[in-house]
Structure 1
Amino acid sequence: MAPEDGASQNDAADAARPESDATIVVRLPDELRSAFKDPLGPLYTDAEELLSDAGEPLIAVGDIVTYHFEQADRRPDVALVDGRTKRQAVDDEVRETVEAPPDRIAATNPAGTLTVELLTALGDAVARDGPTTVVVDGEEDLATLPAVLAAPEGATVVYGQPDRGMVAVDVTAETRAEFRDLLERMDGDRERLWALLDAEA
């Protein structure tokens, strides 16, 4: 989930874009970046071991995490992908695998931000009965934070920790409080953020 270091360079361009569903709700401040350097939950290197411990529904944030679950014959209930890993495009096999599910939602989300479009797509995906993939134009790294609040208790949200493995966050009252605190420290319209997540501040 660690955001790309160059995310803030796009701020001026993002601000100049016309108002739309891709409107930026909150941004990651530079001083908060260090909070994501260490895993925010148990770290796994084996998808099947993680799946044996995971709750339901299963939410995957990232192309490589989603690919590992697909290879283990477990399609995530919700997957968020952006076609990139460690600032590089994923290979064709990964891209074709993670974008294969027919039920897809497109969302725009610039690096280092959370937009109306991404938050709405996340909520819609969680509410659907079948597996749904949110295909992000931009970056999905920060989606782990709202995913923990949008998911029901008992769910597991999984994201990739670069060069280390997969981090599993079980959705409980305690983890929701922890992730809500991180979102509270972001810059922007937090009242709108909570409204989009249908969560209390």
Structure 2
Amino acid sequence: MPEVLRDSLARGFLGVKICGSEESVTNNLLNLLKDCSEAVVIGDFACLKLLESGYVPRVCVIDGVTRRTQAQSIAPKYFSKVIRGSNPRSHVCQGAVEKILEAMREAKQKESTLILIDGEEDLLALPAIAEAPLGWCVIYGLPECGVELVVVDQDTAKSAKKILDLFEEVELQL
């Protein structure tokens, strides 16, 4: 990830910020999700809170960590399918993007998928926004705030693609 993007990505800027207590963030998020055709959730905390409230997103991408500490486990029983991927911290790996695309294709068949990432899932919100069908929503965590909800439209998809274009392609030694 280019260093110049670090602060702006951490603050969120493509969608609606939902800040506050866990309860108020969850309630506001559930209210906004009524206008979304489907949802992709990036992050353990947001996924867990939605599941606890009875909302099962079509796609949840988690890494088992919240704020650099072990996250509460998310039960695979809520999902039709569980797949694994890898994505190192501060990167967006093509393999992880392909897992998200696969899950979004299956979501069109009303399947729900949990993607377990070995590494870090944070930046995977960008390709989710860039590639999700119009009208879907992508939700991701914002540290010290709550979450951001992005309604995917031509403008948000284009903005996410522009940000991704700023990333340098690197060869990872796995």
- How does the TM-score come out when normalised to structure 2? 0.85
SS in 1 for 2:46: helix
Does 2:60 correspond to 1:86?
A: no
Does 2:21 correspond to 1:50?
A: no
Aligned residues: 158
SS in 2 for 1:148: helix
Question: Aligned letter for 2:5?
Answer: L
Counting only pairs closer than 5 Å after superposition, residues 153-192 of structure 1 correspond to structure 2 as: 153-188=134-169
Larger Rg: 1
Distance in 2 (CA, whole Å) between partners of 1:184 and 1:58 is 24
Counting only pairs closer than 5 Å after superposition, residues 41-190 of structure 1 correspond to structure 2 as: 41-44=15-18, 45=20, 46-54=25-33, 55-90=36-71, 94-97=72-75, 99-100=76-77, 101-128=79-106, 129=109, 130-188=111-169
Determine if contact 2:139/2:150 at 8 Å carries over to the other structure.
yes
Distance in 1 (CA, whole Å) between partners of 2:168 and 2:38 is 30
- What is the deviation of 1:49? 2.2
- What is the deviation of 1:147? 0.2
Name the structure 1 match of 2:9.
Answer: 36
- How does the TM-score come out when normalised to structure 1? 0.74
Distance in 1 (CA, whole Å) between partners of 2:163 and 2:137 is 18
- What is the deviation of 1:102? 4.6
Question: Aligned letter for 2:145?
Answer: R
SS in 1 for 2:133: coil
Q: 1:135 to 1:174 in 2, by over 3 A?
A: same
SS in 2 for 1:96: coil
Q: CA offsets, 1:110-133, max 9 Å, x none?
A: 111111220110100000021101
SS in 1 for 2:135: coil
Sequence identity percentage? 25
Counting only pairs closer than 5 Å after superposition, residues 15-30 of structure 1 correspond to structure 2 as: 28-30=1-3
Structure 2 alignment gaps of length 5 or more:
none
Question: Aligned letter for 1:188?
Answer: E
- What is the deviation of 1:71? 1.1
SS in 1 for 2:56: coil
- What is the deviation of 1:161? 0.5
